[in-house]
Amino acid sequence: MPVSTPYTRFQKTLEEVMQKLKLTPKERAFFAKPQNTYKTEIHIKRDSGKEQAFQAFRIQFNNARGPFKGGIRYHPEANEEEVKALAALMSIKTAVVNIPFGGGKGGVQCNPKELSRKELEAVSRAYVRAMIRHIGADIDCPAPDVNTNPAIMAWMRDEFEKQTHTYSPAMITGKPLSYGGSLGRDTATARGAFFILQEMMDREARDPEELKVAIQGFGNAGATMAHFLHNAGYTVVAVSDSQGGVYSPEGVDPVRIEKYKHKTGQVAGEYCKGSVCDIKRMKLDGVRHVTNEQLLELPCDILIPAALDNVITAKNARKIRAKYILEIANGPTSPEADTILEKKGVKIVPDVLANAGGVTVSYFEWVQGRSGELWTAERVDNELRRIMLDAYKSVQREAHRGNMTYRQAAFAVGIRRMVDAMHARGWL
Ligand code: NAD
């Protein structure tokens, strides 16, 4: 069996959908590989005075519909294959929500936990200098991703403006509010996913008060989603972070969990130190400790992976009890699991649709950066809702018409829009 990588998993759905859409060989060629791959070493001076080199990537998959768009990830295992898959997914995602961008992604192979703030700033500025000819508001607009944040985006914009002697607020998104950021960007991914889930439950006449949700990952996206769901009347039965999680069939309170996480650094930190838990206290509070693997298999209606990729696989797909999976993480479900879950009748809202709220509000930030406008939170929320629901309806129509899963239908909507742009531009 060929080795499964994020890119081979992307290609599996891509191939299925290209066949369904009967793409010509010339059209297919544009999806075979990224348009541009930039790989280089960046060098910084560590606090110790020693010089250190890091591998840095920027991969531009397709810009038929507009400038490349996608985050920059800092991770010890960031590699070309992973960045390529994420760049490809971004191309589909921007097309699914119909915003005028292509797809790209960046990465630096480093462990940010081992870098001081000064070293992190040096890495971020060196990355911009290394990629300066390939990025910019009209060329390729980066954003935060795993282990990067608004502070890093601010250093990057500052470095870009210094190097190019320009005022360029739209060269990067996910910036702090004080330096060109947009209201609503921090909650955008969860907000977008929440709009889609609400619409889906409305259409299926499901009452939030009767629905139980388990969420893997209690970071920016997962924790925000837990609050939205709790406030809307859903019962959040389980949440977790990298150390494991807590489960209560009666529901956990995200506000309390947030406090515990703040106090102890862990979702389950109020009750457990590592795997040793205060069972008596847990019983009193009506909660149980669960591992991340157990969380996925809990009795619930809606499962929300919001942490890592490739967590729902052929190994556990049969044991999943949820009827809906809302993919906030990128690539959480393997193609084999997809097939098993489809047979079980589980409805999956795929990553390229479910988590597209983040890039959509990045687009609003880009628009504000170019126009000098400042949008209100209400305007961001209304526009986000409109775009997410339009995308959801397009995917639903496509799924119905082509007898496809939501993942295939989302790819079909995206691919078709990309191919149309390529024809319009005379590339084909
Ligand atoms: P984050 O770093 O804020 O949070 C990640 C969470 O996952 C943390 O709670 C962490 O403890 C948990 N985690 C880490 N390792 C884990 C493990 N082994 N098992 C279980 N949990 C683990 O990240 P985020 O911004 O919330 O992003 C989460 C996912 O959503 C990622 O896959 C990301 O690519 C995707 N996503 C995020 C955005 C966004 O705007 N934040 C947009 C699109 C997609």
Pick the CATH number of 188-349 from 2.40.170.20, 3.20.20.20, 3.40.50.720, 3.20.20.10: 3.40.50.720
Average per-residue pLDDT for the chain: 96
The values of phi and psi at residue 142, to 5°, are -75, 175
List pLDDT tens digits, range 174-229: 999 999 999 999 999 999 999 999 999 999 999 999 999 999 999 999 999 999 99
Name the residue of 75, 220, 325 to mutate for ligand 1: max ligand atoms within 8 A of Cβ.
220
With a 6 A CB cut-off, is 187 part of the ligand 1 pocket?
A: no
Q: Answer whether 411's CB lies under 8 Å from 13's CB.
A: yes
Which residue ranges make up each domain of the chain? 33-168, 188-349
Name the residue of 225, 333, 355, 362 to mutate for ligand 1: max ligand atoms within 8 A of Cβ.
355
pLDDT band at 2 (very low <50, low <70, confident <90, very high): low
**Based on the number of CB atoms within 10 Å of its own CB, is 46 exposed (0-12), middle (13-18) or buried (19 or more)?**
middle
The yes/no answer on whether domain 33-168 falls in CATH 3.40.50.10860 is yes
Q: Which of residues 276 and 128 earns the better pLDDT score?
A: 128
Return the pLDDT at 273. Answer: 83
If you measure from the C-alpha of residue 252 to the centroid of ligand 1, how many angstroms do you get, rounded to a whole number?
20
With a 6 A CB cut-off, is 222 part of the ligand 1 pocket?
A: yes
With a 6 A CB cut-off, is 115 part of the ligand 1 pocket?
A: no
With a 6 A CB cut-off, is 328 part of the ligand 1 pocket?
A: yes
With a 6 A CB cut-off, is 219 part of the ligand 1 pocket?
A: yes
List pLDDT tens digits, range 363-410: 999 999 999 999 999 999 999 999 999 999 999 999 999 999 999 999
What gap in Å lies between CA 336 and CA 345, rounded to an integer?
15
pLDDT band at 4 (very low <50, low <70, confident <90, very high): confident
Residues recognised as catalytic? 105
If you measure from the C-alpha of residue 204 to the centroid of ligand 1, how many angstroms do you get, rounded to a whole number?
29
If you measure from the C-alpha of residue 216 to the centroid of ligand 1, how many angstroms do you get, rounded to a whole number?
9
pLDDT band at 132 (very low <50, low <70, confident <90, very high): very high
If you measure from the C-alpha of residue 233 to the centroid of ligand 1, how many angstroms do you get, rounded to a whole number?
24
With a 6 A CB cut-off, is 220 part of the ligand 1 pocket?
A: yes
Return the pLDDT at 43. Answer: 98
Name the residue of 215, 242, 295, 310 to mutate for ligand 1: max ligand atoms within 8 A of Cβ.
242
188-349 and 33-168 share a CATH fold = yes
Q: Which residues contact 82 (CB under 8 A, 6 or more apart)?
A: 5, 6, 7, 107
Return the pLDDT at 284. Answer: 87
The mean pLDDT of 11-23, rounded to a whole number, is 97
With a 6 A CB cut-off, is 355 part of the ligand 1 pocket?
A: yes
List pLDDT tens digits, range 276-291: 888 988 998 899 999 9
pLDDT exceeds 60 at position 1? no
